Amino acid sequence: MEILDQLRQYQDLFAKIELYHAEMGKRNDKVEDFEKKISEMLTERAPHEERMTQGRALARKFESDVADLESKITKSRDQLASATQASEYSGLKSQIEKHESEKVALEENLLAIFSKIEEIELGISDLDQRLANAKEEYLELKSRVSKENQEFESEISQLSTPLEEARSKVDAEVLEVFDRLQPGLGSNILVNVDGSNCGGCHVSLAPQILERIRQKKEVVFCNFCGRILECR
């Protein structure tokens, strides 16, 4: 049936273009997913940086506390050397001991902070390495996708005139059905009968419908999904 042949020609072109659009969409989604992944990695980096800054500030404070204690100890030692009274001597001695034990405790804390900082640094450098790899991979993906999508674009633009021509040949009533159903059902509006079922929704077709389709004298629609049926 000529009406259906014309529709099929238009539908085939339409479907091909849809397919190219879908392929482009898939590729763009991949690029977007990758961008999300990288931004998640960057988000992951921020708290590490913050802990590192805190750790360094704490280390500086402890270092200056240690220096203070050292100068106090030195001062007390000087006083100790010139102490004349026993009470003064023992007071200074115990003060020195106290400061020394405080200094030891601070230095232990400082070591713990340094090892924590080192740990954070390793974490950050590992993250940076992964980030660098991901960025490299992302750039490759992006350039590949843009190249592939350009090819799809050019295929699509080459099909635009044939599509328009094919469309202009399609019977107006049939075209109206196609345009109405296509957004919901996709580009498979003219379907072949599959055994005795609609090739679109697979509902079983009544024998008289099947007979009308076989006669090829009129356009027959699926009662259930509204698609146009053909027997080939």
Instruction: Please say which residue, 24 or 228, places its beta carbon nearer to Zn ion.
Output: 228
Give Dmax (Cα) for the chain.
Answer: 129
* Of the residues 69, 177, 200, 209, which one makes contact with Zn ion according to CB under 5 A: 200
Q: How far apart are CA 192 and CA 36, in angstroms?
A: 43
User: Which H or E run includes 62?
Assistant: helix 2-81
Instruction: Please say which residue, 159 or 231, places its beta carbon nearer to Zn ion.
Output: 231
The amino acid at residue 150 is Q
Q: Is 132 exposed, middle or buried (0-12, 13-18, 19+ CB in 10 A)?
A: exposed
Does the footprint of Zn ion cover residue 222 (CB under 5 A)? Answer: yes
Instruction: Please say which residue, 123 or 226, places its beta carbon nearer to Zn ion.
Output: 226
Q: How far apart are CA 145 and CA 138, in angstroms?
A: 10
Give me the least distance between CB of 226 and Zn ion, in Å please.
7
User: Which H or E run includes 228?
Assistant: strand 228-230
* Of the residues 24, 69, 198, 228, which one makes contact with Zn ion according to CB under 5 A: 198
Does the footprint of Zn ion cover residue 224 (CB under 5 A)? Answer: yes
With tokens 């099929």, the residue in question is 8
Part of the chain binding Zn ion (CB under 5 A), chosen from 20-28, 37-45, 143-151, 196-204: 196-204
Give me the least distance between CB of 224 and Zn ion, in Å please.
5
Binding site for Zn ion (CB under 5 A): 198, 200-201, 222, 224-225, 227
